[in-house]
Chain A
Amino acid sequence: MKNRLEELRHSRNESQEELGKALGVSRQTVISIEKGKYNPSILLAMKIGRHYGLSIEEIFIYEEEE
């Protein structure tokens, strides 16, 4: 699953640390999500959506496996 988290974070001039604090997760978790190594839970995805005022679908792009 791809996501626009890094792009959104940059648009707000936020650091990974700051975003992590706002979401209640560690900086490493933010890094892993941005790199696409870790898919967040629905709860965390909703928190991210609420943080940026966007829906989950606008941030996370689900790609069907071929």
Chain B
Amino acid sequence: MDLKKKWMINGIFTIALGIILILLGVWKSERLQSMGVAMIFVGGINLLRRIRLSRNQEKMQALETKNQDERILFISGKSNTWTLWISVWVKTALVILFAFLGKEELSQIFAYMVCGEVILYIVIFWILSKKY
């Protein structure tokens, strides 16, 4: 995907999520409201910074190359796998720890998270295996 398009989608998504959080915040919790404001602020700043950057042809060319660089994509894939594994094992450890401490509700929440992540991984793997 074109880098400018990617930035635009990211920016719009962040700002839209911020607006949703503000609306949810007005309805339910103030914390969500401040999260929404922060998201719009960060999304807006990022969008402005990127619009400024996109005027510089040379820098844009370098960023485009980096964005599509196959080594970076390869590392990114590896990094995602490692992150998933570490996250699953840390959460599994927390499931055991909280169960050991008698905090069963917390232990259950983490157990659901681990199961969810593993199922999601299998589903995504299955979908991708159909495509490739």
Contacts and interface: CB of A to CB of B under 8 A. Distances in A.
B70 interface: yes
A19 to B, nearest CB: 12
A24 B65 contact: yes
Interface residues of B, number: 8
A29 B69 CA distance: 8
Interface residues of A, number: 13
Contacts, number: 25
A29 B70 CA distance: 8
B68 A29 contact: no
B72 A26 contact: yes
B65 A41 contact: no
Interface string A2-44: 0000000000000000001100111011001000001011011
Interface in B34-88: 65-66, 68-72, 74
Nearest to B64: A24
B71 A28 contact: yes
A13 to B, nearest CB: 22
Interface of B: 65-66, 68-72, 74
Top 8 nearest A-B pairs by Cβ distance? A29-B71, A26-B69, A25-B69, A38-B71, A41-B70, A29-B69, A26-B66, A26-B65
Interface of A: 20-21, 24-26, 28-29, 32, 38, 40-41, 43-44
